[in-house]
Amino acid sequence: MIKTSSKQTGSTHVVIIIILVIALVATLGLVFWQNFINKKSADTSSNQKKPTTNQPAEKVKDPNEGYLVLKDWNIKFKLPTDTTAITYYKKQVEANNKDIEEDYEFSTKRVEALGGQCIEPNNMGSVIRLAVLSRTKVKLENLVSTSVVNNNEPIAGYYYYASGAQSICADEGTSIQQQDRNMIFNALLGPVAY
């Protein structure tokens, strides 16, 4: 009987060892599957393109929005109204005016709609603009009916001078002309470099 019992004890050890080897192989297989096989399938699914939504791109704000920009003079003016309502014309300075090098004349679309001397060409000879901005490389002093711009300090090497219309350009719409002249003239006094 002793012999039989020792054979049973030995076979019990073999069964336990076999169970432990199977558990060890199963555990190692599970670790291998999680780290290599399953990981590859997860990477493959994440590399697939995700559906995109057609959302509008974030709009970039124009730094010159609300400004009237004179690109050739490298300056801009903050205007209280829609800048598309402003009209402006670069004019040649008269040869006998040695102080001023260049002029811009300003008006508005609603004043030009009045007609008469508010528009060009007209049958009255000259056009009357609401305001004029002049520039020169020479600092001017003792000005009559002209205002200095930027405290008579240069902007990009030029001194600027503004003047408003001295008369109306049409008999109708006097209040419109005065309002627009004041709006433009006040804006011309505060240019900044472009």
pLDDT digits (tens, 9 = 90+) for 88-147: 888 877 766 777 788 899 999 989 988 888 887 666 666 778 999 999 888 988 878 788
Query: Does a structural domain hold residue 50?
Result: no
pLDDT tens digits, residue range 60-94? 888 888 888 999 999 998 887 766 788 888 887 77
| Same domain for 9 and 82 | no
| Same domain for 97 and 182 | yes
Please, what is the end-to-end C-alpha distance for the chain in angstroms? 111
**pLDDT at position 100, please?**
78
Q: Which of 62, 64, 86, 91 is nearest to 75 (CA)?
A: 64
The whole-model pTM stands at 0.63
Choice between 71 and 49, residue whose per-residue pLDDT is larger: 71
| Same domain for 72 and 39 | no
Categorize the per-residue pLDDT at 1 as very low, low, confident or very high, splitting at 50, 70 and 90.
very low
Instruction: Tell me the C-alpha distance between 194 and 192, whole Å.
Output: 6
| Same domain for 90 and 167 | yes
Instruction: Tell me the C-alpha distance between 112 and 15, whole Å.
Output: 108
pLDDT tens digits, residue range 29-47? 888 888 887 766 655 555 5
Query: Does a structural domain hold residue 140?
Result: yes
Q: Are the beta carbons of 102 and 93 closer than 8 angstroms?
A: yes
What backbone torsions phi and psi does residue 37 show, to the nearest 5 degrees? -75, -55
| Same domain for 79 and 16 | no
Residue ranges making up the domain that contains 33: 1-44
Q: Which amino acid is at 185?
A: F
| Same domain for 115 and 153 | yes
Q: Which of 150, 142, 134, 72 is nearest to 97 (CA)?
A: 134
Tokens representing 65 are 């929005």
**pLDDT at position 170, please?**
84
Separation in Å, CA 142 to CA 29, 65, 185: 97, 35, 19
